[in-house]
Chain A
């Protein structure tokens, strides 16, 4: 661990947790598809960050490093019990844009889905998303563009139903 000693690091992780818990929760809940599972993922992600804080290397903000731990914990929980849970929801019914959008997002490839959640719920920029997903910022830009295109066509479809 460079830059921060262990106790200071713990304080910093706690600060991020207290200030940003609702944001982490929202992203994790979106990934897992369940608020309780999302909360469990946030708790476990932060716990994992504490356990492995020696490996933090100050290459980028601490918060981004924690994001990776939380997202991985959420992905684990999403895979385990109720995989592709949103796909089972009714697709498009009149006035149910909500379910339709969630179903469309559930059908996106995982990287696109994570990028959407991190961008819109986590409010992360492309550089930070790239660090969380282990890809380059240019890849994130392309991923977000493709995801938006897929979702846009879905939104138009829903609007057509509502007219």
Chain B
């Protein structure tokens, strides 16, 4: 007998089913009307609380000071010693299938954080559900977003310094912005006016709105002692670059034939045929990287080019609106080229192209997918062209007339 079955059987025999005990929904409803953990002290306690609340109303007039919403915000997080938050950044992508019906699935960049003063600070960052950071630290994090916010939010609400700073509406949720201080840093937190749940947190370094950081709060709760995840796991070794290396990357001016491209990639390059949606095929261009002047440049990939690419955002405008498409393909990733590799590539899925715009202000919206051991990145003059190119990319075959 399988081991799991043995355990199942043993458990069945050891713990009775209590079929004699029936549920009572009315009892549940009655309990729900009472305060939690009600007891014989419930009524006196409620009366006393009512008297105190009345006194507070007379003395403080909370509708003027914002005290009520701060208290609701504090209560919404709970009292458990472990704090557990999930925050969502503004970065997002779309997964689009490479075949079949065109439909898009949003993927988000989220950070899940557990904070327990006795166990430390565990942070897992995921893009599209795939982890790309998993770190466990003992020390208290810096007070900026998001880590310091999670560690200091509850204390900040209890400090008496949190102030209501105006009402707003976020995604149909009526919120009040609270201004809180954590470790000398001022953060703004939008909390649900009814429930007190945090909805969004905002940090504006030096008051410069141009560099404001915002995160939506997906989950904010506290957990009982001993609960929570404080075991950082080693992420799978994906062979991705860790960054930190400086060097130069460039592309050759003249195209090579399909054989030259295949020599770099170790297999037939992907292409889109003699033209792609109005943009003519211009050839395969080899890209190379050089990490030090003493080193020889090393070819790392090939671009299949259609039309003439416009300069990246932030550079001089091309003055041309002609359609263009670039299918960049590499056998390996390099830190100087693939700045967002740690986040992007784990989030790709077989059979899908991930359409995503990087954090770098000069980065373009691009499509990412892996095929046959190649890392493929598509940029184009429009988002639709990126998707159509990803769906139409195929290995170059002899007789296609691309030279070489």
Contacts and interface: CB of A to CB of B under 8 A. Distances in A.
Chains A and B are bound partners: yes
Interface residues of B, number: 45
A59 B195 contact: no
B25 A14 contact: yes
A21 B23 contact: yes
B228 A59 contact: no
A63 interface: no
Interface in A1-40: 1, 14, 17-18, 21-22, 25-26, 29-30, 35-36, 38-39
Contacts of B124: 136
Nearest to B28: A46
Nearest to B21: A39
Interface string B14-34: 111111011111011101101
A48 B11 contact: no
Given A25-B18, A98-B13, A148-B3, A120 B8 contact: yes
B223 A152 contact: no
Given A134-B228, A152-B3, A22 B13 contact: no
A28 B91 CA distance: 41
Nearest to A1: B195
Contact of A29 (B13, B18, B227): B18
A62 interface: no
B233 interface: yes
Contacts of A55: 76, 195, 197
A50 B32 contact: yes
Contacts of B231: 139
Residue in A22, A47, A75 whose Cβ sees the most chain B Cβ within 10 Å: A47
B15 A134 contact: no
Contact of A42 (B8, B17, B23): B23
A134 B229 contact: yes
B159 interface: no
B339 interface: no
Interface string B135-174: 0000000000000000000000000000000000000000
Interface in A142-163: 148, 151-152, 155
Interface in A50-100: 50-51, 54-55, 57, 59, 72, 75-76, 97-99
Interface in B180-224: 194-195, 197, 218-219, 223-224
Contacts of A101: 10-11, 14
Contacts of A44: 31, 36-37
A36 B11 CA distance: 19
A63 to B, nearest CB: 15
B7 A18 contact: no
A72 B3 contact: no
Contacts of A139: 229, 231
B21 A57 contact: no
A116 B228 CA distance: 17
B60 interface: no
Contact of A151 (B7, B27, B223): B7
Contacts of B29: 47, 50
Contacts of B114: 134
Given A97-B10, A135-B228, A51 B32 contact: yes
A43 interface: yes
Nearest to A26: B17
A38 B223 CA distance: 21
24 contacts: A17-B23, A17-B28, A21-B23, A22-B18, A22-B19, A26-B15, A26-B17, A43-B28, A46-B28, A47-B29, A51-B32, A54-B195, A57-B218, A59-B219, A97-B13, A97-B14, A99-B14, A101-B11, A102-B14, A120-B7, A135-B227, A138-B233, A151-B10, A152-B6
Interface of B: 3-4, 6-8, 10-11, 13-19, 21-25, 27-29, 31-32, 34, 36-37, 76, 82, 84, 114, 124, 194-195, 197, 218-219, 223-224, 226-229, 231, 233
Interface of A: 1, 14, 17-18, 21-22, 25-26, 29-30, 35-36, 38-39, 42-44, 46-48, 50-51, 54-55, 57, 59, 72, 75-76, 97-99, 101-102, 105, 110-111, 116, 120-121, 133-136, 138-139, 148, 151-152, 155
Given A43-B24, A120-B8, 6 more contacts: A30-B15, A43-B28, A54-B195, A55-B197, A101-B11, A133-B227
